[in-house]
Structure 1
């Protein structure tokens, strides 16, 4: 992986709500892959980098953090690069990266496989004790069979390495996208509102009867 070398990075002392950025002491490791990526993005806080004033984490460096397990990285679901190398992690679920549609570079301890398998990435390299997963592939394009798993009137959408989801095509909605036309929001709200009024009225009548009975 080659990232631009420059001096245009700033370290921001303003705290954010992203707890992942402060899971480890210190900031993004100097001269690491995430550090080089962050140079072009503008703002570093803790172990994360952000683009200007945006709140989405674009780069996450949790390398050398003594992590024995990784359970939840959803705060970084918009990340382009994630580094988990140099940690004693031996097992990790692929579901951790579900929804990471923009993830292009993932650096892992050698004991971990690239999520979704090697076929979910353009390139997989090993260097000493580190595994590099580069170029996430669109799961909908991996095989012509995957699109058949989506019901009629829906389209396959990528949802992270090895994952996809089915979204209703335009003008279709409901269970298995079988209903055509705009979603009847007014009718649904009117029905819910009417039901609420009826239930409230019945409860009020019941309560009044109890009061009179006493």
Structure 2
């Protein structure tokens, strides 16, 4: 992972292998012992989980046994402080509740990889993640934010790659843009290409991904420098 800063912009670029293995992280998330299990929020979450035939509750998670996937997580009242990369293995999650964690802080990178996330429920005092500003334009990575008395629901992610095309941004040659969670994207090397900016031919499908989550005042300069200044890139 590389962080480059010029005083106005921060570009965070991580190089990851796409093939992910389901580790003990899934079990850890579903069985956090700091959570209070009996509350109204959990009941609403359970009821929603059971609307889909075959779903089961597994600790704090809505679990689909037929596909061995966690599709929902309720971490409300869990005394969370910083989720960091806690959710990264949970790539099939569509519904996530993080309310009633008054000390919770997060980074936009905390939600990288959650491409299927359709509903994120947060305390009203917290902003929906993934926002960035481009000159006088603020691009919101969620199609809708529903504010209730104490919570905000971030609903349906916008198309990050589609939005970037409007700013005439394209991934390097021999790579394709892929949405990679709220406000995040990846430039995935095509089959047969790898290395720095996917410029090296290879006989192996290395599936190396250049992932970028951008924050700061300006997208344009950040992306331009990321794409052109090799000296800021490390492996």
Specify if TM > 0.5.
yes
Change (3 A) 1:157 1:184: closer
Assess if the C-alpha contact under 8 Å between 1:79 and 1:103 holds in 2: yes
Aligned to 1:107: 121
Instruction: Give the length in aligned residue pairs.
Output: 169
Does the alignment pair 1:20 with 2:55? no
Structure 2 Cα separation of the partners of residues 103 and 56 of structure 1: 13
Structure 2 Cα separation of the partners of residues 160 and 48 of structure 1: 20
- Report the 3-state secondary structure (helix = DSSP H, G, I; strand = E; otherwise coil) of the residue aligned with 2:48: helix
Assess if the C-alpha contact under 8 Å between 2:94 and 2:119 holds in 1: yes
Structure 1 unaligned regions, length at least 5: 1-15, 186-214
Which residue of 93, 118, 127 corresponds with 2:148?
A: 127
Aligned to 1:155: 176
The structural deviation recorded for 1:144 is 1.6
- Report the 3-state secondary structure (helix = DSSP H, G, I; strand = E; otherwise coil) of the residue aligned with 1:58: strand
Which portions of structure 1, spanning 4 or more consecutive aligned residues, are displaced by more than 4 angstroms?
Answer: none
Aligned to 2:4: none
Change (3 A) 1:17 1:120: closer
- How is 1:1-214 mapped onto 2 (pairs within 5 angstroms)? 18-23=27-32, 24-26=35-37, 29-32=42-45, 35-40=47-52, 42-71=55-84, 72-89=86-103, 91-117=105-131, 119-144=140-165, 148-180=169-201, 182-183=203-204
Bigger relative CO (Cα 8 Å, ≥ 6 apart):
2
Assess if the C-alpha contact under 8 Å between 1:57 and 1:75 holds in 2: no
Higher strand share: 2
Higher helix share: 1
- TM-score of the aligned structures, taking structure 1 as reference length: 0.68
Structure 2 unaligned regions, length at least 5: 1-24, 132-138, 207-235
- Report the 3-state secondary structure (helix = DSSP H, G, I; strand = E; otherwise coil) of the residue aligned with 1:95: helix
Change (3 A) 1:67 1:138: same
Considering only CA atoms, is the larger Rg found in Structure 1 or Structure 2? Answer: 1
Structure 1 Cα separation of the partners of residues 43 and 108 of structure 2: 28
Change (3 A) 1:141 1:38: farther
Structure 2 Cα separation of the partners of residues 45 and 31 of structure 1: 15
Assess if the C-alpha contact under 8 Å between 2:193 and 2:205 holds in 1: no
- TM-score of the aligned structures, taking structure 2 as reference length: 0.63
Assess if the C-alpha contact under 8 Å between 1:80 and 1:103 holds in 2: yes
Change (3 A) 1:17 1:165: closer
